[in-house]
Amino acid sequence: MLRPEAVAIWVLGPRQLCDLELLANGAFAPLTTFLGRADYESVLDRMRLADGALWPVPVTLDVPGETLAAASRTGSLVLRDPDGRDLATMTLTEAWRPDLLAEAETVLGTTDPAHPSATHLRSAVHPWYVSGPIRVHARPRHPTLPPLVWDPRAVRSEIARRGWERVVAFNTRNPMHGAHRALVARAMAQAGAAALVHPVVGPTRPGDVPAAVRARCYQAVMRTMPQDRSMLALLPLAMRMAGPREALWHALVRRNYGATHFVVGRDHAGPGRDSHGRPFYPEYAAQELVGAHQAELGIAPVCLPELVYVEDHGYLARDEVPPDAVVRTISGTRLRELLREGAPVPEWLAAPEVAAELAALPPSA
C-alpha cells in the first residue's frame, strides 16, 4: 500500500464530478479527458478542438497550487468524490495558469458578476488547469435522484429497443410547466419524432429548484405524455449558462445519446439579465448559432418560437394569437409567485402533482 504522502489526491467539486462522469461515459465524446492547453485555447478562440472538431465550451479541471505540486511529485492525481471514493486517476501531463477573465469574456461573452458562471470563474475556480489521460475506477453516485441517470449507451439501447428512428431531445433545467410540455409536443410533430425528455440535474444557477424535486416533477409530467412515444432520462451535466455556445454544446451531447433532433429554445441556457437589466444574450441567438453549424452537427435543430397560453385556444406562438384573444402569462417565475401567494395554480400552467411538489419547497429553495 502506498503511503498517504505518496499519493496526490483531489476531491472533486460538484461541477467537476459532473464533468468527470460525462467524460467517462462518452457523453462528452470525442473528449476522453479534461482539455489540455492546445484544445482549451482552440475552444476559446474558434469553438473547436485543436484537431478541428466542433466543441464550444471548455471542460477543464482546476486545482490549487499545492495539489499541482503534489501531483507533479508523483506524476498522477487521484480524483476522489466528497465521500472518499476514488473515481479516477489522472496521469499528469500538462498544467498551466489560464486567464479566467479572458475565458469568461470569450465563452460567456461577459465578465459581469450578475452572470453566475462569470462569478464562478472569478471566485471559485482554482488558479491551475491540469490535464492528462484518465483511468476510471468508479462512477459518481446519485442517491437523491431516481434511477434515471442513464449513460449514452443505455439511452441509445432503449431507443433501439423501442424501434425509434427519429428522436427529438428536450433540454430544461427548470420544472416543466405547461408551455414546456406544449413545446415538446410541437417538436415531436415538427420533427416527426419520439421525445427524449433529457433535463439537466447537475449544478445550474443559484436559486434553481433542487434537482431531486425537479426529477419528481419530470416523472409527474411524463405520466401525461404518450407512453409509446416519449421517455425520460436525467443528464448529470453542470450548466455554464453560456447561451448560444451552450446550446451548441447541448446539441453535441444529445447527439451522443442517440437523438436525431434537438429543441433549441429562444433564450437557450440564458442566465437572465445583466447588472443593467438587459438580457445577457439576444433572443433567438442560440437558434442562429446552432443553425449555422447544422451541417456538421450530426443532429438537426428544432427551433421553436416562444409559446403563450391563449384562453379557448391553448398554447400558441405569439404570431398565431387571434385578434382580441386573452393571453395569460407563462413562466416558472409566475408559477413560483402563485405558490408563494397560496393562490390556485391553473392546470394549463402546471400539472397538480408538479404544483404540489413545488408548493412543498421552503421559501428560500
**Using CA atoms, how far apart are residues 363 and 254, in angstroms rounded to an integer?**
34
> Pick the catalytic residue: 122, 174, 266, 328?
174
**Burial of residue 64, with CB atoms counted within 10 A of its CB: 0-12 exposed, 13-18 middle, 19 or more buried:** exposed
**Quick check: 274 and 110 in contact, CB under 8 A?**
yes
Backbone angles phi, psi at 355, to 5 degrees: -60, -40
Q: Give 194's contacts (C-beta < 8 A, 6+ positions apart).
A: 159, 162, 164, 166, 167, 168, 188, 229, 230, 231
> Pick the catalytic residue: 173, 216, 245, 255?
173
**Using CA atoms, how far apart are residues 349 and 180, in angstroms rounded to an integer?**
10
Active site residue 174: yes
Q: Give 311's contacts (C-beta < 8 A, 6+ positions apart).
A: 325, 326, 327, 328
Task: Show the CA angle centred on residue 156, arms to residues 168 and 294, nearest 5°.
Answer: 45
**Burial of residue 72, with CB atoms counted within 10 A of its CB: 0-12 exposed, 13-18 middle, 19 or more buried:** middle
Cell of 333: 417565475
Number of residues written out for the chain? 365
> Pick the catalytic residue: 172, 204, 256, 260?
172
Instruction: Give, as one character, the DSSP assignment of residue 331.
Output: -
Cell of 106: 470569450
Find, among 308, 307, 315, 263, the residue nearest to 286 by Cα: 263
**Quick check: 79 and 86 in contact, CB under 8 A?**
yes
**Using CA atoms, how far apart are residues 250 and 106, in angstroms rounded to an integer?**
18
Find, among 103, 254, 76, the residue nearest to 172 by Cα: 254
Q: Which residue has the cell 488547469?
A: 129
What's the farthest any 2 CA atoms get from each other in the chain? 77
Active site residue 172: yes
- Which residues are known catalytic residues? 172-174
